[in-house]
Amino acid sequence: MSKQVLLTGGAGFIGHHILEHLLRVTDWSITVLDRLDTSGTQGRIAEVLKEHPQEEQRVRLVWHDLKAPVNSLVAAELGQPQYILHLAAGSHVDRSISNPMEFVMDNVVGTCNLLDYARTLSTLERFLYFSTDEVFGPAPEGVRYMEWARYHSGNPYAASKAGAEELCLAFQNTYKMPIFITHTMNVIGIRQHPEKFVPLVIRKVLLGEEIPIHANKECTQAGKRHYISTSDVAEAVMFLLKHAEVGDKYNLVGERELDNLQLAQTIAGCVGKPLFFKMIDFHSSRPGHDLRYALNGDKMAIMGWKPAKAIDERLAEIVEWSLAHPFWLGL
């Protein structure tokens, strides 16, 4: 039987990739809830629908800012979904440092307003809250955080996501809602905002410009991440809609750890131009930014999911697409 899905933040970077994946592998009806601000753009949805014109009738876009409750008029537009995928969030560390209350409103209050609406639904089968590795704070070398590790937020953005996680668990415990949570590491893919690291590196390599590489205080070691592609994230979400346990948490982790210099070198190799870079001590002088994040992905692997392709292959795909679509590089 066909499902109805409510996808919040569906015009955002990760959200629109999940939208595209749902259109490609299901026959479900999808309602996208978005406020179309700095991170969400209708252009992403338009490009997805252009690639899937026969599926356009399956997608509805509802404008709403979740800082306000989901009133009866908005609820009527949203219908009676079986699945809610909650990706809408403020997610910019620098902005959270300069304006923490904005992130409390977007991520904590916004999540509570959505949960309040969701608990009225008799149809609800799954509610996914999409969280971040940053709730655990920096990871010392050799440490990979498990799903239920303690929070140690390094900035207001991370703290607001941790607060929203706790609200989800509270609603699951109090109202017996079918909620589960994911932690995702740095996500890369096509149509990412050009300020983000991967499109920024592609652009600067093309233009022959120097790229700052965030490093330790001695400028001998670049920051490290387990980068994961949007394609793998979308496939993991579909996997978890079938296999996740209510009230549990799941880490979505890339195929292997890369430092930012290795990532930039791989991108430059794909572009076919030299890499000009400078290691800079950013993390010790800038509050709220951590040199290394790391999650343990063993739980998902034991369940039967892992990234479908190596990170080098994913980067080559992103570079090839971006060179053919320079608009998304800001060129």
User: What is the CATH topology of the domain spanning 192-225+257-295+309-329?
Assistant: UDP-galactose 4-epimerase; domain 1 (3.90.25)
Asked if the domains 4-187+226-252 and 192-225+257-295+309-329 are classified in one and the same CATH topology, the answer is no
Contacts of 313 (CB under 8 A, 6+ apart): none
Residue 320 among the catalytic residues: no
User: What does the pLDDT read at residue 40?
Assistant: 66
Q: Point out the catalytic residue in the list 83, 117, 145, 157.
A: 157
Contacts of 216 (CB under 8 A, 6+ apart): 281, 283, 284, 291
The yes-or-no verdict on residue 37 having pLDDT over 80 is no
Q: Point out the catalytic residue in the list 133, 147, 232, 290.
A: 133
Residue 134 among the catalytic residues: yes
CA distances from 274 to 4, 50, 317 (A): 48, 35, 19
Q: Are the beta carbons of 138 and 292 closer than 8 angstroms?
A: yes
CA distances from 237 to 85, 200, 244, 270 (A): 9, 27, 9, 29
User: What does the pLDDT read at residue 244?
Assistant: 98
The yes-or-no verdict on residue 328 having pLDDT over 90 is yes
The yes-or-no verdict on residue 212 having pLDDT over 60 is yes
User: What does the pLDDT read at residue 5?
Assistant: 98
User: What does the pLDDT read at residue 93?
Assistant: 87
Taking only the tens place, the pLDDT of each residue in 237-273 is: 999 999 999 999 999 999 999 999 999 999 999 999 9
Burial class (CB in 10 A: 0-12, 13-18, 19+), 230: buried
Report the sign of the C-alpha dihedral through residues 47, 8, 3, 77, in that order.
negative
User: What does the pLDDT read at residue 34?
Assistant: 96
Residue 157 among the catalytic residues: yes
Taking only the tens place, the pLDDT of each residue in 267-319 is: 999 999 999 999 988 666 556 567 888 999 999 999 999 999 999 999 999 99
Q: Point out the catalytic residue in the list 34, 106, 134, 255.
A: 134
Mean pLDDT, residues 141-145 = 94
Mean pLDDT, residues 200-217 = 94
Tell me the CB-side half-sphere exposure of residue 238, using CA atoms within 13 A: 19
In the chain, what percentage of residues exceed pLDDT 90? 86
Please state which CATH class domain 4-187+226-252 belongs to: alpha beta
User: What does the pLDDT read at residue 38?
Assistant: 66
User: Where residue 57 falls among pLDDT bands split at 50, 70, 90?
Assistant: very high
pTM, two decimals, is: 0.95
Q: Domain residues of the chain, as ranges?
A: 4-187+226-252, 192-225+257-295+309-329
Q: Which of 142-156, 164-178, 286-300 has the lowest mean pLDDT?
A: 286-300
